[in-house]
Every structure is written in structure tokens, then in C-alpha cells.
Structure 1
Amino acid sequence: MTPEIETIKVPTKLAQQYYKEVFDPAELISIIGLTTFYKREFAFLLEDGNFVRNTSFKSSDDLIKFLTTNPIRRSYVGAVYETPPTKNNTIQRIKWVSREFCFDLDLNDYDLVRSCGCQGKEQYCIICWSLVQDAAAFLDKTLKEDFGYKKIVWVFSGRRGFHGWVQDKGAGILSQEQRNSIINYLTIIKDEKRTQAVEKDLKHVIPLRDRILEMIAKAFFAHANDKELKAEPFNFTKDQITKLRYNLERGSQPFSKTYDIILERKQDRDAIFTRIIQHRYPRIDRKVSIDIRRILKIPGSVQDTNGRICCRVDIKKIHKFFPENSPTIWELLS
């Protein structure tokens, strides 16, 4: 059965009560820092549908005062600027200083390959949720091992995915061009919405290829049934499937070695590898990562459609986290 993500709108009065009695700005400050807090842009979706940007606060107390006295549906935080953003001193007119290198993983970006029957923003199940769990784990490891980043925080988006915040100082001052270069390195699916074309020859990107086999391919085969493995492009024999299952459950060697041993010469390795990438490789929202003026939901804020809190998630326990593990506003105020 497919669980549906609730679409109940949280009353703004209830949200105000949450921000007054429960919300702890320390969680937000631990991610974005305190020294430049007053020069951060904040943005808000109001109850009447108006979207307010170019807002800044001298302190976290002022932010809480705003949250508790205005009809807020959703709250966002953006970049640091040379001077505090205001209606008369907009982000288009002032110098940009920094913004964490951020990643947005959204489950409905996988709609073309969700084989469980779930679709869109309102549905998820344990099978398709593993797609964003795997994506977060893969990106975290790749950013740390290939780019040397050490401080990465993952936050449940409140609904259908995760937000990654790279906190390293060097990451915050990356230009759009530099961010674009890193995203290009991480991007393998050329056109996620239509053709699903894989654009890179990964034989020449050994660290990424081996990591894909170890983390993405292993997950793909763990979820694939015998019928899928016997069909194109795999054409696995019964003996191959038996060896695969054994190694997935009990194998002690790296899965990349298991993969190379199990596949036979006659099998189309490129087609198999392409299918794995198309079905399980991370879908990254390029604009969120590259655009230095992009905003993301405030960690600790309320998702207005279901009342869940955008809470921090331990990357080491990412595969044990599901949306229902996030507390709701009703639970916290009871």
C-alpha cells in the first residue's frame, strides 16, 4: 500500500505558537553561523499567497518575533550580502558575499523510474524513498572524498526529500561558475525529464564509477526482482542471479568486484551500467546548487502542507530515516 503525504494546511496561528514555544534558532545558527546572521536574506510565503523576499533580521530574536506575529506558511533562508537586504536595499542592488553550497534531492524528480507505483509530490513508499536515501549517502561520500569537504549537514525537507548544506568555508564563497563545474562532475543523466540519456563515459572516471558500483549498483540489484534481471539489458542466467543474491547477502568483497565477476563477456556492460544510472543515480536540482541567490527552507521550520518539521538527519542513519520519523507540529505542541 502506498502511504500518502498529508496535504492538510497548518493554521498560521498554530505555526505562530510553534515558533513561540518550540522553535529553537540554535539549530539554524549551527548551520548558517551567527556572525553574518544580520546580513542574511530571509524569505516567507504568507497565508494570502504573497511571497516576501529581501528581508533581514538583526538577531534571531527578531526573526522569532517576525515568525510569531505574521501569518507565515513557509520560511526560507538565503545568502549573505555585504549589507542587510531590505525592500529598499534589495539583493539585486547589493554585493553577494557567500552562501553554503546546497543540494536539493526531491523524490518526485524520480517519477519516470519509480517502479513501485508512487507518483508526484503526494506519494512515497519504502521502495521509492530509498532513492533519495541512496542519493544523499552517495553525494555525501562523493563531496567528502572527491572534493575534500568535511562539514555537510543533511536536513529533511519536510515533505519529499533532503537538503544538503556544505558548511566548509571554501564552499560558501564558490562562484556560480565553480559550483557549476562541480555539479557538471556529479551530473550523469543528461536529460532527466525526457530522454534519460547518460552523457558520460564513466570508464575514465574511476573514483565515480567504482562508487556508483559500490553504492548505486548494489542498491539497484538489491531491489531488482528475478524477472527484471532475466530481461534486457541484463539477460542474467539463473546461475548469475543465484551468485548475485549470495554476494548481496553474504559477500565480503567490494560489490564492484562482484559486479565485474558476475557479468559475462557476452553481456552488454554499457547498457547494463546505463540502466543502473537511469534508475538510481542521484537527481540533483542544478539551480538550487548553482544559483548563489537561491533560498532553502529554514531548518527547524514547519512544512505547511503536513505539519512536519524540517529536521536534521544523521547521514550515518539516513537509511533508517523516513518522513514519518520527523515530528509534527501537533506532537510537539501537545
Structure 2
Amino acid sequence: MTVEQQTAAGPATDFNNVGVQEMMKLYYSRLFPHQEMFKWLAYGNDGKHPKTDGGFFQRREFCFTLDGDIFVRYQSFKDGGELAAALKDRCPSKIDIGPVYNVDPQRRAAYQGSGQGFAPVERELVFDIDLTDYDDVRTCGKEGHICGKCWPLMAAAIKILDAGLRQDFGFQHIFFVYSGRRGVHCWVCDERARKLTDEQRSAIAAYFAVYKGQEKGIAKLATSLDDHPAIKRAYDLLQDAFEQRLLPEQRLLEDEQQCQNVLAYLPNDAIRSDVQQRWQRVHGSEQRWEVLKEAVEEEAKALDGARRGSRPSGDPRAAKAMRKSIKDIVCAYAYPRLDMEVSKKMNHLLKAPFCVHPKTGKVCVPIDPDVAWEFDPDTVCTVGGLLNQLNSGSAAAAQGEEPWRATDMAAAVDTFRVCFLDALQQEVKAGLAEKARAAAAQPTLAW
């Protein structure tokens, strides 16, 4: 009996015991929010306004990953209905979204070698952050692991990106998506962002790339952490995240290797030895952190001459470096670690929201940045759980409504709409109306 037949037979099926790929046909038929995806990616070009670009959506590239890791690139669809039909028919294990091209990507061969060519013309500015890049920081697990203890690293990244993109670059239409396993994706969808060149995308990504990898166990951090207003804003947020969430959750200063890693950021052997001795008298990450800050500040005051004694002349530069070591530790552990290559190129693919992760079965749900700290990856809805809700009889949708509205998917779609789609739709409609007014105001030539 197929999964579809089991569903029709009644509520006996427990979809939590069914393979993820086996459930995808039902998922795309009954749970995937096709209309919302089309409204987003059409950007108002849905044929309902005289100034719409009727071919816009069809020039968008979709890539399907079919069962068996078969990648099918340069898929395109004339509208949301055709996309929905293709998803139901082909049941991809993953959907990636690419750029909008100058021509229909499925017909690219006809233009290659011609004067028109085949090239991307717009694409959302995107960011990808993966918890595996924090494996040197996490004590709760490595690689594919994710839990409430390491989620604050992702929440901090969401907060810093959201603030920087809005306040420093003026973007408004931004949404974040849980990747379904261990990371977060960010989509910036303002028209200005979609028209950025590769060089401009690289520059924006570099702006956020304070963390630049490691060298001999020490994080390489770009620029001064004292001078730039954006870095100061980020540090103020990260300081609270580090002290109130990461230290107690990860128990960083109760792990011997992490203790040595933290001490390595202090400027000299003398202060490292002093802190290590003081740590022998206290226990717990939060208490040890307070001891470290106290020792660093005492040394900094001595260096800048605030305390008379063996160094009456003071050394303000060394004092500044001493205090900066605290900021270095916080930023090294908590500043967003971006996958830079994802953001640099217009033609880079990124997984679509509302996909289902093939290993976890979790839906790639949008995240409200205002409540990023409260988001719990362990409670994200799964395809099996959603189908169980449909199959229970207690989640009957109202007449004429999409079935997903009677499941936990409704909350995910509401987040997408309230945090992003509704405002975007208002702006694109206003833009189309302005184009119509401008066209009407043009004088008519008499021949």
C-alpha cells in the first residue's frame, strides 16, 4: 500500500515511521505553501497589473535535487501553478533557488553564442551560516549536532545581520530561515539588493566578515574592535549573548581545553598566569569569566597609569590592548561566521524556504528575528508530524482552504507573511502603481 493509499485508508498510519522521501508527494500536494512562494518570487509580476513583467517568474532558475542526489538545474516555470505541478510530479528532496536570468534558463542553449547571451540579471542577496563553523567553540556537540545550548550562536548571528543590513545598508525586506538541520539562511529581497553586482555583494559580505578563520588556535579578527560603530553595536549585543547564554550553556570555562583557548587571547604570559591562578579558587564558567575581566581591568589600570606604583609613567597603548582582549574573546567565540562564497556571486544557489531536510525531516521554517533567542530547533515541525496532524481527523481544514492551514505549518507561513511577505507585497504594488502613473503622465505624440 502506498503512502497515499494509507492516508486515504484512515488515521492508522504513523508518518513518523515513514521515510522522508516517501512522504514528499503528500507534502508537496497538501502542505507546501505554493501560493506564498509564488507571491514572493514574482515580486508583483503575477499578470494582474498592466505594468507587470509577464515573463519575470519564468526567467527564475530552480534546481531540483531528486532522489539519489540527482541535480537538475535551470528548471523554470511560467507561474506558481506550473511550479506546484512540477513539485508534486517530481518530488525533489531539495529545492534550490537561483537568479533571474535575461532569458528563460530552460532555453539558454538557444542564446549561448548569440549576441544576447545568457546571464543573471538579478538575485536576492543571501547569507549562509552553519554551526559546523563553530565546532571549535561548541562543547555540546560537533558537526551535524544542534540543540538549545548552541542555538544562541545562530540567534546572535541573526540579530547582528538583521541590525547591520537594516541600519547600515537601509534594507527592509529581510527574512531568516532555519536550514532544517544546523544552520540559518538570510534572504535580502529589496529591489536594490537584488540588483547588486557581484563586486557589491562581495563588499557587503566582507563588511560582516569580522571573523576570518583561525591561526594557531587564535581567531583572526578584522579591523579594530573599538573604532567602527557597527562593531561597537555588535559587541554590545554579543557581550550579553556571551555572558548570559554561551558561558552557562556551553560551560566554556569548565572545559580545560576551552580554558586554554580563552587564555591565549590575553596579551602576555604574566596576565595569563595571574588569571589561571585566580581560577583555581573559583568554579563555574560565569564566575571564572568575572575573575578574568577583573584581572584584565586591574592590569589595564596599572598600565595606563591610573594606579601609582611600579609603573608610574603608564603605557596607554598596552592598556588598550589589554582591555581589547576581552572584546577579542567575545567576538572570536560569538561573532557570525559566514560562508562568504554563498554571498559573493549572483548565480549562487540557496535552498528554498519550506523545503524538508532529507535527514531530519524538519521543515525549513522562517524565523522571526525579534524572537530569535526563543526559537527552538528541537521543536521545529517535521513532515511526519504535519502529515499525522492531517491524518488524525482533528486537523480538518475549512472548506476551500489549503490543508496546511489546519496544521503547525500555519504558524510557519504566518511568520513568513508577517515578518516579510506582507510588507514586500505592499511595496511592489506601490511600485507598479507608480509606474502606471508615470506612463499615464507621458505626453501622447500626435502623428
TM-score of the alignment, normalized to the shorter chain, above 0.5 = yes
Q: 2:235, 2:331 within 8 Å by CA — same for their partners in 1?
A: no
Match of 1:64 in 2: 84
Match of 2:31 in 1: 22
Range with greater deviation from structure 2 (97-106 or 318-327): 318-327
The structural deviation recorded for 1:180 is 0.9
Match of 2:305 in 1: none
1: CA distance between counterparts of 2:215 and 2:383? 34
Do residues 149 (structure 1) and 171 (structure 2) align?
Answer: yes
The count of aligned residue pairs is 310
Equivalent of 1:130 in 140, 143, 152 = 152
Q: 2:211, 2:222 within 8 Å by CA — same for their partners in 1?
A: yes
1: CA distance between counterparts of 2:233 and 2:343? 21
Change (3 A) 1:145 1:77: same
Cα-to-partner distance string for 1:180-223 (whole Å, 9 max, x where unaligned): 11111111122258752113123231x12321221112211223
- 1:231-246 equivalent positions in 2, closer than 5 A: 232=263, 233=266, 235=275
Match of 2:130 in 1: 106
Match of 2:408 in 1: none
Larger helix percent: 2
- Greater C-alpha Rg: 2
The structural deviation recorded for 1:79 is 0.7
2: CA distance between counterparts of 1:54 and 1:47? 18
- 1:211-230 equivalent positions in 2, closer than 5 A: 211-222=233-244, 223-224=246-247
Change (3 A) 1:311 1:130: same
* Amino acid in the other structure paired with 1:44: F
Q: 1:99, 1:292 within 8 Å by CA — same for their partners in 2?
A: yes
Match of 2:387 in 1: 333
Q: 2:20, 2:361 within 8 Å by CA — same for their partners in 1?
A: no
Match of 2:416 in 1: none
SS of residue matched to 1:113: coil
* Amino acid in the other structure paired with 2:202: N
Match of 1:4 in 2: none
Match of 2:221 in 1: 198
Q: Relative contact order: is structure 1 or structure 2 higher (C-alpha 8 Å, sep ≥ 6)?
A: 1
Match of 2:326 in 1: 272
Match of 1:253 in 2: none
Change (3 A) 1:286 1:194: farther
Match of 1:79 in 2: 99
* Amino acid in the other structure paired with 1:21: R
Cα-to-partner distance string for 1:229-251 (whole Å, 9 max, x where unaligned): 9973384979xx9xxx79xxxxx
Q: 1:28, 1:300 within 8 Å by CA — same for their partners in 2?
A: no
2: CA distance between counterparts of 1:330 and 1:46? 19
SS of residue matched to 1:61: helix
Match of 2:121 in 1: 97
Q: 2:225, 2:328 within 8 Å by CA — same for their partners in 1?
A: no
Match of 1:288 in 2: 342
2: CA distance between counterparts of 1:325 and 1:181? 36
Change (3 A) 1:112 1:133: same
SS of residue matched to 1:126: coil
Cα-to-partner distance string for 1:140-164 (whole Å, 9 max, x where unaligned): 0111111111111111111111111
Match of 2:405 in 1: none
2: CA distance between counterparts of 1:190 and 1:112? 14
Range with greater deviation from structure 2 (94-103 or 64-73): 64-73
Change (3 A) 1:56 1:322: same
Q: Where in structure 2 are there 5+ consecutive unaligned residues?
A: 1-16, 46-55, 267-271, 288-292, 303-318, 389-447
- 1:19-58 equivalent positions in 2, closer than 5 A: 19-34=28-43, 35=45, 36-58=56-78
Q: TM-score, normalised by structure 2?
A: 0.63
Change (3 A) 1:193 1:152: farther
Change (3 A) 1:284 1:135: same
SS of residue matched to 1:127: coil
Cα-to-partner distance string for 1:86-122 (whole Å, 9 max, x where unaligned): 1654998512111111111111111121133x1002x
2: CA distance between counterparts of 1:139 and 1:289? 13
1: CA distance between counterparts of 2:143 and 2:215? 13
2: CA distance between counterparts of 1:128 and 1:215? 17
* Amino acid in the other structure paired with 1:76: D
Aligned-residue RMSD, C-alpha: 3.2
* Amino acid in the other structure paired with 1:269: R
SS of residue matched to 2:118: coil
* Amino acid in the other structure paired with 1:101: L
**Identity percentage over the alignment?**
30
SS of residue matched to 2:210: coil
The structural deviation recorded for 1:324 is 2.5
2: CA distance between counterparts of 1:90 and 1:287? 29
Equivalent of 1:115 in 133, 139, 149 = 139
Range with greater deviation from structure 2 (84-93 or 298-307): 84-93
* Amino acid in the other structure paired with 1:218: D
